[in-house]
Amino acid sequence: MRQKRSDELPRFMNDREGPEFRWNRRYTYFLAGFLCICWFLYPSRNTSSANGEPTVNWSNYAYSLYATDSTTLCHAILLADALARLGSKADRVLFYPEYWDTVVSDSKDRDSQLLVLARDKYKVKLQPIKPLTVGGRTKDQWTGTWDKSVTKFMAFSLEYYDRVIALDSDITLLQTLDELFLLPQTPIAMPRAYWADSKPWPLTSMLMVIKPNHKELRRFTDRLTGGGEEMLVDAHKFDMELINERFEESAMVLPHRPYALLSGEFRHRDHSAYLGDSKEEWDAEKVLKEAKLVHFSDWPLPKPWIMWPPEGLQEMQPDCGSSTETCVERRIWKQLYDDFRRRRRDICKLLSVPAPEWQKIKGGEHLPNVTEGTAHAAPHADGNVHVDARRRLM
């Protein structure tokens, strides 16, 4: 279009010398022509403004969060808080069980308080749903609850949006992920589980950049009703299994560095898998600084909403090869947990679940309901969840 305009420009200049009446008419034609061209080029012009920077309509993008119980509700709100704090421009959507409500009945009604907080303070769009579960497992009350993590697939239903980022809730977001909305078109983009034993590493469902599609959702829910292998379901791996079954060979792969760092990385000695370069020297500070998303994973130590058993902490915490005085890794690792617990207390007004017995969880079989389970009730911190009255009016 620029080319065309500059072709026309000299003629326009010449015409200035002509009679004024003609010039005016000419001017009108040129203006009409110019507007016409603008109109034709509007869709492409829409994506780049005058200075060449892409202008993006952020209402076409959203982060998808989900809550299936009080614990995951709080963690979804911590994510909404992080997105707001980090200046993310996209929408936020929260799926929650339809039998909850947003009427705060009393000061103990934490779920309703948190839903209101999400809606009013963090501008989260609330979507009541029936949580998804893995079929054939409902007889076992505990597993039935646990399996609701597959509710994250509801992100595929958000066809109103061009693209959606679905996040797990046992993570800390350190930077916004808004740039991922602008990736080239693809049904799904995900990082790989760089900690997996076997190669090729499977895709990890902690972060999924999705093109919402009801047909895909239907495929997943059909598979869910068929039930899953008990071990995978118990270990909270079934969603990952389904995603890999469907997209392992066709997904756009996001670099796990910096999009999927495990907290456990700070306890390890060999960092070549995360760094992706065996020659690069490990620098814990630098890795933390560049990381955008940290996933809590230090099994058998419990997740951060459950207290550490003191012996477990002694045994498992980063030891930096015994130079404990200035162990940067330990400081960072503890700081990640402390930060999560502090935000739970300050934002959700929830304390940590008491520590399980270390001897029971250590070494033995993987008991995800003890170390990761979200069904335990956490004690409430003093005070109500605070929603600014002014914001409520907005």
Ligand X SMILES: *[C@@H]1O[C@H](CO)[C@@H](O)[C@H](O)[C@H]1NC(C)=O
Total binding residues toward ligand X, as defined by CB under 6 A: 8
CB of 367 to ligand X, least distance (A): 6
Q: Which stretch binds ligand X (CB under 6 A): 121-129, 218-226, 248-256, 367-375?
A: 367-375
Is the CB of 162 or the CB of 241 nearer to ligand X? 162
Cis peptide before 54 (omega within 30 of 0): no
Is the CB of 202 or the CB of 373 nearer to ligand X? 373
Is the CB of 252 or the CB of 367 nearer to ligand X? 367
Q: Do the beta carbons of residue 61 and residue 161 sit within 8 Å?
A: yes
Length of the chain: 394
Pairing of strands 188-191, 163-167: unpaired
CB of 366 to ligand X, least distance (A): 10
CB of 127 to ligand X, least distance (A): 17
Q: Do the beta carbons of residue 242 and residue 182 sit within 8 Å?
A: no
Cis peptide before 19 (omega within 30 of 0): no
Q: Is 369 in the site for ligand X (CB under 6 A)?
A: yes
CB of 368 to ligand X, least distance (A): 8
Is the CB of 81 or the CB of 178 nearer to ligand X? 178
Helix/strand/coil for 171: strand
Site for ligand X in 127-166 (CB under 6 A): 142
Give the Cβ contact number of residue 278 at 10 Å.
Answer: 9
CB of 373 to ligand X, least distance (A): 6
Is the CB of 12 or the CB of 142 nearer to ligand X? 142
Pairing of strands 293-295, 171-173: antiparallel
Q: Is 314 in the site for ligand X (CB under 6 A)?
A: no
CB of 144 to ligand X, least distance (A): 12
Is the CB of 112 or the CB of 143 nearer to ligand X? 143
Q: Is 60 in the site for ligand X (CB under 6 A)?
A: yes
Is the CB of 370 or the CB of 381 nearer to ligand X? 370
CA atoms within 13 A on the CB side of 369: 14
Among 48, 59, 335, 359, interactor with ligand X by CB under 6 A: 59
CB of 342 to ligand X, least distance (A): 25
Q: Which stretch binds ligand X (CB under 6 A): 12-20, 54-62, 178-186, 204-212?
A: 54-62
Q: Do the beta carbons of residue 206 and residue 293 sit within 8 Å?
A: yes
Q: Which stretch binds ligand X (CB under 6 A): 93-101, 185-193, 270-278, 366-374?
A: 366-374
Is the CB of 40 or the CB of 142 nearer to ligand X? 142
Pairing of strands 293-295, 252-254: unpaired
Nearest CA to 306 out of 172, 215, 147, 170 is that of 170
Q: Do the beta carbons of residue 237 and residue 206 sit within 8 Å?
A: no
Nearest CA to 119 out of 99, 94, 155, 87 is that of 94
Helix/strand/coil for 43: helix
Give the Cβ contact number of residue 280 at 10 Å.
Answer: 12
Binding site for ligand X (CB under 6 A): 57, 59-60, 142, 367, 369-370, 373
